[in-house]
Each structure stands twice: as C-alpha cells, then as structure tokens.
C-alpha cells in the first residue's frame, strides 16, 4: 500500500464587495467545513471579509470559487489571496 502525503497551504483570503455579513459569514463557515478546510475569520465589515484558510491548494481554489459566487444577497467584486507560509504537511 502506497502512502500519499498531502501538502497543505495556509493563505489569507480577502473578499471585497457589497457583503451582507450576517448571511455571508455563516455561509463561509459552512462552505469551508464542507471542503474540510481549517479557517479563521479575522475581520468582517460590509465591504471586506478577511479569513485565513488552510488545506490542499485545490480545495482552497474551490473555496475561492464558491465565495466568488456566494449567496444571492452578496456581490463579490474581487478576492485577493496571499500565502502566509510555505507548504506544510
């Protein structure tokens, strides 16, 4: 049996737009949990949400795509991503 090691990334994701925080923050938490990503939300306002996400790059990409489409009461203008540290296992 071959053992596969999964590399995980830690990134800061900044979501900018017309954001309905009361509905979007719980939505972000549910979406991250469904993808199996560790996450911490560090800032919320009606124009910007900042969170740190950790997990495989492909799942972080899926998180970004999901957030860009988001719930109907949210308009995401852009999502900026920045690596916080290198790969970890």
Residue 59's nearest CA partner among 19, 21, 7, 17 is: 7
pLDDT tens digits along 36-54 = 999 999 999 999 999 999 9
pLDDT tens digits along 8-22 = 899 999 999 999 889
Is there a contact between 78 and 31 (Cβ–Cβ < 8 Å)? Answer: no
Q: How confident is the model at residue 7 (pLDDT cuts 50, 70, 90)?
A: confident
pLDDT at 1: 40
Tokens of 22: 């009361």
């Amino acid at each position: 049996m071959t053992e596969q090691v999964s590399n995980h990334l830690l990134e800061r994701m900044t979501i900018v737009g017309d954001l309905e925080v009361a509905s979007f923050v719980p939505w972000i938490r549910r979406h991250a949990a469904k993808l199996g990503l560790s996450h911490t939300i560090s800032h919320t306002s009606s124009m910007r949400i900042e969170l740190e996400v950790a997990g495989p790059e492909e799942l972080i990409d899926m998180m970004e795509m999901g957030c860009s489409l988001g719930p109907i009461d949210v308009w995401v203008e852009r999502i900026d991503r920045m690596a916080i540290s290198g790969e970890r296992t």
